[in-house]
Amino acid sequence: MEIKPRYLRYLAAIRRHGSFVKAAEALNISQPALSLSVQRFEDVTKAKLVDRGRHGARLTPAGLVLARHGSEIEAAISSASDDINLFSHGISGRLRLGGTPLSTNGLIPEVVSRLLQITTDVAIDVIEGVDEDLLDMLIRNELDVVIGAPGGELIRPAIATQTLFSAKTVLVVRPGHLLMNNKSVSLSDLETSLWAIPPQGGAFRNQIEALFTANGISFPRRTIQAASIHVLKRIVRLSDAVTLAAEQIVRDEVEAGQLSCLEISEPVALRIFGLHTRRDKELGDLANLFCELAIETAPKYEANKSN
């Protein structure tokens, strides 16, 4: 079966834009030419790839599988273009990193700092996000390395994982909060409290919801949601709101007297942070160096260890 790369890119464009007309405009080809190409691709694969309806074009399951490869081709072309542009300006390496807030506020900056002591002829992109989105970007070849704690349900067979450190979840409040009179706090005592929490969609939010469910406690109704950990910490610092966070992510504020931590009486599983890469992708020298330094540096971020 001969699969032409441009056909894969065409499907990726249709998925992205949701219609033949918009996809054709983005690809700078005519709509009839795009339709004909899709028909030929369906003949080659002997599978229906696109469903057309009044509301646009929707890829079939087979079309989605092929479109993913098209996205990878586009990412590779974009990366190659960026690399040659950087090379022309004297930059010999490019590294694309993804991380959840704990890693982007601790381990990743420290490892990047160590890497820059070895070489400065690099261009580094750091993207913060939720585990699911970052792993999707890794699969699409838009990231080289991801550091996060996605949990088993999010790990794909195509992803290789190296365990780095574990994170302990604690209750975070402002200094002087009434809860500070307790050595530990039960979640059942906090049902009416104001909570500052991450939005739905991330692995940590899922863990928080599961913690309440497992203990038969209703999820808080009074909530302030923010994706940024900096926003959540600031809200807690300036109000009576409470939040759950990895102990490591608030260490600096606790040491500075800006935030306080309390133990939760309910059992909370440790979050296991790992270094994630694609199994089928050979990492470049820069990415390999980052991974080596990350593994060396990670033990200091282990739960209950001070910096």
Instruction: State the Cα–Cα distance between residues 59 and 238, nearest whole angstrom.
Output: 48
CA torsion through residues 151, 74, 293, 232, sign:
negative
How many separate helices (H) and strands (E) can be counted in the chain? Answer: 11, 13
C-beta of residue 62 within 8 angstroms of C-beta of residue 45: yes
CA torsion through residues 255, 165, 277, 201, sign:
negative
Report pLDDT for 303.
79
3-class SS of residue 140: coil
C-beta of residue 38 within 8 angstroms of C-beta of residue 11: yes
Burial class (CB in 10 A: 0-12, 13-18, 19+), 199: exposed
Residues of the chain with pLDDT under 70: 1, 79, 82-83, 85-92, 152-154, 304-307
Report pLDDT for 1.
65
Return the DSSP state at 282: -
C-beta of residue 233 within 8 angstroms of C-beta of residue 175: no
Q: Model-level pTM? A: 0.66
How would you label 277-290 residue by residue, b for 16+ Cβ within 10 Å and e otherwise? bbeeeeeeebbebb
Instruction: State the Cα–Cα distance between residues 125 and 87, nearest whole angstrom.
Output: 16
CA distances from residue 51 to 54, 59, 65, 170, 267 in whole angstroms, order as listed? 10, 6, 14, 48, 48
The ranges assigned to domains in the chain are 5-72, 91-166+271-301, 169-264
Report pLDDT for 85.
65
Report pLDDT for 203.
75
- In DSSP notation, the chain reads ----HHHHHHHHHHHHHSSHHHHHHHHTS-HHHHHHHHHHHHHHHTS--EEEETTEEEE-HHHHHHHHHHHHHHHHHHHHHHHHHHHHTT--EEEEEEE-HHHHTTHHHHHHHHHHHH--SEEEEEEE--HHHHHHHHHTTS-SEEEE---GGG--TTEEEEEEEEE-EEEEE-TT-GGGGSSEE-GGGGTTS-EEEPPTTSHHHHHHHHHHHHTT-PPPSSEEE-S-HHHHHHHHHTSS-BEEEEGGGGHHHHHTTS-EEEEESS--PPEEEEEEEETT----HHHHHHHHHHHHHGGGGSTT---
25-78 confidence digits (pLDDT tens) = 988 999 888 989 888 888 888 889 988 877 788 899 998 888 888 888 887 777
Report pLDDT for 307.
40
Report pLDDT for 91.
47
- The CATH code that applies to domain 169-264 is 3.40.190.290
Closest to 290 (Cα-Cα) out of 114, 169, 168, 39: 114
Report pLDDT for 194.
94
Report pLDDT for 153.
65
- The CATH code that applies to domain 91-166+271-301 is 3.40.190.10
Report the topology of domain 5-72: Arc Repressor Mutant, subunit A (1.10.10)
Query: How is residue 71 written in tokens?
Result: 């996205």
Asked if the domains 91-166+271-301 and 169-264 are classified in one and the same CATH topology, the answer is yes
